[in-house]
């Protein structure tokens, strides 16, 4: 089953992904993401926020530091263990539990804001995920999605050529392409070929999907890479910039 394969893959990457998050916590990216979250989530007394696909807890910890009441979920147990440890180290009170993005066992209208980063590209049925988030949102609540066309090059040869070109430029600037083992890279690609968003142009697809799910307003920033990526990452990900979506119920 594809979902089990995805869970197994990311459980194995929990340690290395946690190393990435630790570096983000210790550099200017932390402040950049805090500014974006504050901009879109807004403020309010006891604002209830759900972080979906929390991984090692980067967004959850940032949100708790902004004085939101934070619940964070992930489908990978090893990721959740990393997140709990990181939250304890940061001194943040966050409710963590295991859940799929499309099936969060909580009541309707539980949250003011739902956030995700680099999550929806990995969903076998992203429309089902957005419908679930609509259910979980309070009236006038917001969904914030930060993502990119990470694997669309697998279905677009020209984009793949551009990605390879800019990867080489990044390597010349000092990028070390050692995040994945050859086995992990092959498994990631095999999974991505089975995922629907590998074959869609985003964030155009997301705008239409949110409308279909009943969201009243959908705001899109097509490129926020200049805000959240360092110089080498801006080169590396030039063909697939990170975008931001704010969809209001």
Domain locations in the chain as residue ranges: 2-248
pLDDT by residue (tens digit) across 161-194?
A: 999 999 999 999 999 877 788 899 999 999 999 9
Residue 55 has pLDDT above 80, yes or no: yes
Contact of 194 with 3, CB cutoff 8 Å: no
Which residues on neighbouring strands pair with residue 74, listed in sequence order?
98
CA angle centred on 98, ends 95 and 101, rounded to 5°: 105
pLDDT by residue (tens digit) across 64-86?
A: 999 999 999 999 999 999 999 99
Which residues on neighbouring strands pair with residue 115, listed in sequence order?
51, 144
- Helix (H) or strand (E) holding 214, with range, is none
- Fold category of 2-248 in CATH: Rossmann fold (3.40.50)
Extended beta strands in the chain, E state: 48-52, 69-74, 95-98, 111-117, 137-147, 217-221, 243-248
Note if the pTM is more than 0.85: yes
Q: How confident is the prediction for the chain on average, in pLDDT?
A: 95
**pLDDT at position 180:** 81
Coil, helix or strand at residue 218: strand
């Amino acid at each position: 089953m594809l979902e089990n394969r995805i869970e197994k893959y990311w459980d194995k990457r929990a340690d290395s992904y946690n190393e990435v998050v630790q570096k983000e916590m210790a550099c200017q990216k932390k402040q950049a993401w805090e500014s974006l979250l504050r901009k879109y989530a807004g403020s309010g007394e006891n604002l209830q926020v759900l972080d979906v696909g929390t991984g090692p807890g980067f967004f959850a910890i940032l949100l708790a530091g902004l004085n939101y009441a934070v619940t964070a979920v992930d489908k990978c147990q090893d990721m959740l263990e990393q997140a709990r440890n990181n939250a304890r180290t940061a001194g943040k009170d966050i409710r963590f539990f295991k859940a799929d993005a499309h099936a969060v066992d909580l009541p309707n209208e539980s949250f003011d804001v739902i956030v995700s980063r680099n999550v929806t590209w990995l969903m076998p049925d992203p429309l089902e995920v957005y419908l679930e988030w609509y259910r979980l949102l309070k009236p006038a609540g917001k969904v914030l999605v930060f993502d990119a066309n990470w694997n669309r090059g697998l279905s677009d040869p020209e984009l793949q050529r551009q990605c390879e070109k800019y990867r080489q430029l990044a390597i010349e600037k000092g990028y070390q392409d050692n995040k994945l083992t050859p086995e992990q890279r092959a498994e990631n690609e095999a999974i991505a070929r089975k995922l629907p968003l590998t074959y869609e142009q985003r964030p155009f697809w997301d705008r239409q999907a949110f409308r279909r799910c009943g969201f009243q307003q959908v705001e899109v920033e097509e490129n926020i890479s200049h805000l959240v990526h360092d110089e080498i990452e801006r080169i590396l990900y030039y063909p697939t910039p990170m975008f931001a979506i704010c969809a209001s119920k």
